[in-house]
Amino acid sequence: MNITVVNLADRLEYLNEVSEWFWHRWGAKQTLENMKYTTLHSTLSNKIPLTYIALCGERLVGTVAIWRNNLRCRQDLYPWMTNLYVTEDMQNKGVETLLQNCIIEVIRSMGYKDLFLICNEGYDYYENTGWVFKELAPMANGTMTKIYQKDLSIN
């Protein structure tokens, strides 16, 4: 199994499929067209926002993105890892780690010292890969979410 991780900006033929994944997984309150527009404009080649994809051959098997902000109430924290998703058949085969490591190296190379994420599920995965719980934060819909932080000076 040969997995490659590439910037979506370099493989825009996957834009529609990635947008559909994001929409089905996280975009219930917006149209698919809005999600495509958002994804396109979250796909820069050398600065945030960035979207990376994992390919097994030419088959899309995973995604991850870096945004300036993923939580309105914490504008002071950035950048944020978001949209980490791997197809069910490829989960627990190292694809999540490849995507996460790629993003970490890109963000480190930009001079950032920390990376953040919000999480409502999969806590064990993040805690087992070096993320540290920072705090609970209120979401716009009234629920609470966990904020995690990754110190990029630690491998």
Inter-residue contact 85 to 38 (CB < 8 Å): no
Q: In the prediction, which pLDDT does 57 show?
A: 95
Distance (Å, rounded) from C-alpha 53 to C-alpha 17? 11
Distance (Å, rounded) from C-alpha 97 to C-alpha 103? 10
This prediction has a pTM of: 0.90
Give residue 81's Cα distance to chain centre: 4
Give residue 61's Cα distance to chain centre: 14
Pick the CATH number of 3-151 from 3.40.190.10, 3.20.20.60, 3.40.630.30, 3.40.50.300: 3.40.630.30
In this prediction, residue 125 has a pLDDT band, given cuts at 50, 70 and 90, of confident
Q: What is the mean pLDDT of the chain?
A: 90
Provide the CB-side half-sphere exposure for 85 (13 A, CA). 17
In this prediction, residue 29 has a pLDDT band, given cuts at 50, 70 and 90, of confident
Of 3-7, 16-20, 75-79, 121-125, where does mean pLDDT reach its minimum?
121-125
Inter-residue contact 123 to 98 (CB < 8 Å): no
